[in-house]
Structure 1
Amino acid sequence: MTHDHLLSPITAAELTAPNRVWMAPLTRSRATMPGNIPNALMAEYYAQRADPRTGAGIIIAEATPVSPQGHGYYATPGIHTDAQEAGWKQVTDAVHARGGKIVLQLWHVGRVSHHALQPDNQPPVSPTDATSQSKTYIDDTYERHPNTPPRKLDPAELPAIAEDFANAASRAIRAGFDGVEIHGANTYLLDQFTRDGMNKMDPPWGGSTENRLRFPLLVAHSVVDAVGAGRVGYRISPLSEHHDAIDSDPKSTFTALAAVLGKLGLAYLHAVETWDRSKIDPRLKTVIPAIADAFKSAGGHAYVANGDYTPDQAEQAIASGWADAVAFGKLWISNPDLTERIRRDGPYNEWNSDTFYGGGARGYTDYPTIDQPALR
């Protein structure tokens, strides 16, 4: 089929893109260690996907911790030191040299971490003292280890964490990013505050929906004050069960969040709709339209869909008005020229999941474009 809607340009506040084939944030764990510093290999990887005709309309760079406390996985790049900022500058320079656009996802993992990754081997922090049942990798063996039981946050600590997000946003803009995306999805710190099954803080930071949204909105306001609403996005995953996600009424919770984010005039709201489109949550058909409408009706600009879309499904989503853009994930890993492949209606390289995390160029910068010989 043709993909005219998917390949059309889009403007979302201060962000403009030549197409609606966006690149979702993808953790690849290739940062230079020690120091969690972005490097030349990462610059090459993103630049390969940046050409306005063959590449992403907007690249959302991988989840990037805003502070030492925000780390939860080995070799993920940070944005809280001068060396990290300089490392990201070579990435954005490479992307812009190809004519691309790139925003940085700002991340704090909350309880999804191990003490070996935390400052002074301290426990990770969260609005709950319940341990995440997922596992993480803490060194270059990439063996999975149980997460460390978290320490429940003191309310007095929250303004400093919000300031970490604001400082990271400012660093990102200085490093040349076209915008930032606040990571409020996948049951990391901001999502832990949002969900009633995870936020065990006392009022005014826990309890009612309004109270549970108070800290995520403090972060959003801080980032907007730092860099302006027109180049800020926010990511959610309302129906996710990732990292023990629990919320009794995701439609109500995330519609309320979307409305207040929309009032800020954010450039876009980005939602992980599903991890597997063959197993769609039946609530999706009502939850997502309500969230997108609440965001845009309140003054937000674009709704960006994500979640195991095929190019044909993405075209239908945009043509029908379901979404304004679609962020693809694994297809971008194995197809650096994904937009050109969509224009030609395929074919598509298959990805190698063994090389998703850690390592070097193999499975990272060596996937061929459509006119190059296939990998052997």
Structure 2
Amino acid sequence: MTSLFDNVSLGGLRLPNRVVMAPMSRVRSDREGLATASMATYYAQRATAGLIITEGTYPNPVGQSNPLTPGLYTPAQTDSWRQVTSAVHTNGGRVFAQLMHGGRISHPDTTGHQPVAPSAVAPREVYVFTPTGPQLAPTPRALSTAEVEGEVESFAAAARRAIVAGFDGVELHGANGYLMNQFLSGNTNLRTDRYGGSVSGHIRFAVEAVAATIDAVGADRVGLRLSPGAGVGDTVDTDIPAVYGALLAELVPLGPAYVHLAGTDDEILLGLRRAWPGTLIVNPSIPGTPVPSNRADAERWLAQGADLVAFGRAYLANPDLVERFRADLPLAVADLDTYYTGGDDGYLTYPAYAHPPLTATASV
């Protein structure tokens, strides 16, 4: 029987368990998108995970979604990540950088650029973070065909920088309503060139980005995160079996290290598990639900064919999550008010589980 605590191979890595720390934005970089010493401590505290996937890092200036999020675009940003990867490796961990292009989920007040997207369609009633507070996402500018090709290359270039910075690999963010997801979704991609229209057109950007990144750093170092049907950021998937089935079929010969499915229902996940013969990471959390996933969720998905299970909110307040699962210890609950407030409070201040002291027994 598959156990959450089995050793398992992932690409060129040997993981000590099947627990993955899911990517989560914490907005703790500096204003130049540099990783900080606090970020190094945060990730090192969680190094007992089989694999850590970092928060989304933007691959170019227009790809930044939120303020105070880190990048992998400039030499200074690349160098700043060395303290993070070194701290994780010193603590015995393994870490992939998530490469995230926000597309239309962005704002000129954050980047200095009009957001870009497959088509000039504004998300309906979607607010984005800006330096002056939440604002409605504006109408993006549609990328030209040549510009789409440039955005494909931006993922590959950021992956090269990630390896220079000491990461074990990268995860391309194709989920949660961001740029790659916008190409996949029917209501955000109205293009009639080779990056739209047919199913093959809708999946082309994702396939080309994965292929270019694999060419840049090797298949063993590349994963892809998807969220079919999750509907985040006003993305609507109109034919999930056709679109995502075709996407996975195109990925098989490329041989990425894994596909990471998140934020969707059991029926869709099970169908895509059957369609994907490679390593599958499942994140069973559903957006908008307050309860973090637990060990029972993980064991249920392992029994249904997942190879690894990713935990997001459970990792916020439980840096020793693997140890708590192993010993059936209670989980701490994270303070929602400190998710995105900056500073170390609610970031580095969650301790490992403290066992109650033993009490002496009187002799008779």
Q: Provide TM-score, normalisation by structure 2.
A: 0.93
Q: Which one of the candidate residues 62, 67, 78 is aligned to 1:85?
A: 78
- Structure 1: 5+ residue stretches without partners: 275-280
Paired position in structure 2 for 1:212: 202
Whole-Å separation in 1 of the counterparts to 2:169 and 2:297 = 27
The 3-state SS of whatever aligns with 1:213 is helix
How far 1:346 moved relative to its partner? 1.7
2:112 counterpart of 1:128? no
Contact 1:260 1:295 in 2 (8 A): no
Paired position in structure 1 for 2:64: 71
2:232 counterpart of 1:248? no
Whole-Å separation in 1 of the counterparts to 2:350 and 2:2 = 26
Deviations 1:88-145 (A, max 9, x none): 1110000000010000001101000111122xx3310001211123111112x6x211
The 3-state SS of whatever aligns with 1:166 is helix
Deviations 1:11-33 (A, max 9, x none): 12223211011000010000011
How far 1:258 moved relative to its partner? 1.4
Contact 1:110 1:188 in 2 (8 A): yes
Cα RMSD over matched residues? Answer: 1.5
Amino acid of the residue matched to residue 36 of structure 2? N
Whole-Å separation in 2 of the counterparts to 1:263 and 1:289 = 21
Q: Which one of the candidate residues 317, 323, 331 is aligned to 1:334?
A: 317
How far 1:158 moved relative to its partner? 1.4
How far 1:79 moved relative to its partner? 0.3
Whole-Å separation in 1 of the counterparts to 2:190 and 2:85 = 39
Deviations 1:287-336 (A, max 9, x none): 2222222221xxxx310000323211211211x24211100000100000
Whole-Å separation in 2 of the counterparts to 1:372 and 1:77 = 36
Paired position in structure 1 for 2:288: none
Whole-Å separation in 2 of the counterparts to 1:326 and 1:45 = 20
Q: What percent identity do the matched residue pairs reach?
A: 41
Paired position in structure 1 for 2:224: 234
Paired position in structure 1 for 2:101: 108
Deviates more, 1:21-30 or 1:354-363: 354-363
The 3-state SS of whatever aligns with 1:105 is strand
Q: Provide TM-score, normalisation by structure 1.
A: 0.90
Q: 1:360 to 1:176 in 2, by over 3 A?
A: same
Paired position in structure 2 for 1:41: 38
Deviations 1:258-279 (A, max 9, x none): 12112211110001133xxxxx
Paired position in structure 1 for 2:164: 174
The 3-state SS of whatever aligns with 1:323 is coil
Q: Which one of the candidate residues 355, 360, 370 is aligned to 2:338?
A: 355
Give the total of aligned pairs: 348
Contact 2:174 2:180 in 1 (8 A): yes
How far 1:372 moved relative to its partner? 6.9
Q: 1:354 to 1:221 in 2, by over 3 A?
A: same
Amino acid of the residue matched to residue 117 of structure 2? S
Q: Which one of the candidate residues 316, 322, 331 is aligned to 2:300?
A: 316
